[in-house]
Amino acid sequence: MNIIVCQNYDHLSDYAKDVVIDTIKTKDKPVLGLATGSTPEGMYRALIKAHQNNDVSFKHVTSFNLDEYIGLGKDDPNSYHHFMDEHLFNHVDIDQNETFVPPGNTDDHEKACRDYEQNMHHHDNLDLQVLGLGINGHIGFNEPGTPFDTRTHMIELDDSTREANARFFDSIDDVPTHAITMGIETIMESKQILLLASGDSKKEAVYRLLNGEETPDFPASILHRHKNVTVILDRDAASLLSVEQIDQVVGPK
Ligand SMILES: N[C@@H]1[C@@H](O)[C@H](O)[C@@H](COP(=O)(O)O)O[C@@H]1O
């Protein structure tokens, strides 16, 4: 695990953008695993800017998102489909037929999960998976207790996750109770993983990621088994780490 600490959120976003662009430029048909949540928003803004400056094209990119709420249709403003359209897809030259988000409003969730997996295999799996970090250690929507060998599946959301995400909804009662998420094994098959964590609220989770034991009670702990993981933190998220745990402290360009 390569631990990089940036000065602030904007710098983290810029650094993460460069990692994504590197993947896009080094592969003929790059396959990106994308994440939602507040953390990657700055990275998406930086990618859009890079695209507008002709620094990167998404023409040959395929993307698979990590997760989606059950019960929210594509056009629901709180769906992750909608998030991706607003925060990236509508602003770059990606082929919209090559952007995939798990379907939140299907009648047959099990089939949807199987199809999603098959589609990823068909695309030769992910080159780079971007991850945020839940305060309870979740990755995607794999909540504590999720077995490490899960593939794309349906999950009941923890109360703490629904509370953390209630800020996007009118009230907590509107936050869906279930979601479809790539499984932990699915995520671990990505050739490279980029985990982003920003802000004071993530410092305990980051501390546990780097100091805690490997356990399904803290899903992100599995990432130590992957051989190509880059963790990008800002100073607040890294504030409980010791200097020896940090591989690189980088300043703005
Ligand atoms: N399902 C998403 C995750 O994919 C995300 O990484 C995480 C952190 O979110 P945020 O970046 O808003 O803190 O929680 C959400 O519930």
Q: State pLDDT tens for residues 190-212.
A: 999 999 999 999 999 999 999 99
Residue 41 lies in a domain: yes
Question: In 82-216, which ranges are E strands?
Answer: 99-100, 128-131, 153-156, 178-181, 192-197
- pLDDT for the residue 253: 63
For residue 224, which amino acid is it?
H
Nearest CA to ligand 1 atom 6: 132
Tally of structural domains, the chain: 1
Contact yes or no for 195/220 (Cβ under 8 A): yes
139 Cα–ligand 1 center, Å: 8
Q: In this structure, is residue 81 part of a structural domain?
A: yes
- Quote the pLDDT of residue 15: 97
148 falls within a domain: yes
Residues of the domain holding 53: 10-193+200-223
Residue 236 lies in a domain: no
Percentage above 70 pLDDT, the chain = 100
Is residue 61 included in any domain, yes or no? yes
pTM exceeding the 0.90 threshold for the entire prediction = yes
Which atom from ligand 1 is nearest to the alpha carbon of 67? 1
pLDDT at 251 over 90: no
| Predicted complex ipTM | 0.94
Over the stretch 114-160, which tens digit does the pLDDT of each residue have? 999 999 999 999 999 999 999 999 999 999 999 999 999 999 999 99
Q: Which residues 6+ apart lie within 8 Å of 111 measured at CB?
A: none
The residue from 65, 136, 142, 165 that is catalytic is 136
Q: Angle at Cα 71 formed by Cα 67 and Cα 77, nearest 5°? A: 75
107 burial type by CB count under 10 A (0-12 exposed, 13-18 middle, 19+ buried): exposed
Which CATH number do you get for residue 108? 3.40.50.1360
* Per-residue pLDDT reduced to its tens digit, 217-228: 999 999 999 999
Average pLDDT on 73-97 reads 96
Residue 94 domain flag = yes
Contact between residue 183 and residue 219 where contact means Cβ atoms under 8 Å apart: no
Q: What is the pLDDT of residues 4-14, one digit of tens each?
A: 999 999 999 99
**222 Cα–ligand 1 center, Å:** 17
The answer to whether position 49 is within a domain reads yes
Q: Is the CB of 216 under 6 A from ligand 1?
A: no
Q: Tell me the CA–centroid distance for residue 79 and ligand 1, in Å.
A: 13
**137-146: pLDDT as tens digits:** 999 999 999 9
Question: Does some domain include residue 233?
Answer: no
Structure confidence at residue 252 (pLDDT)? 72
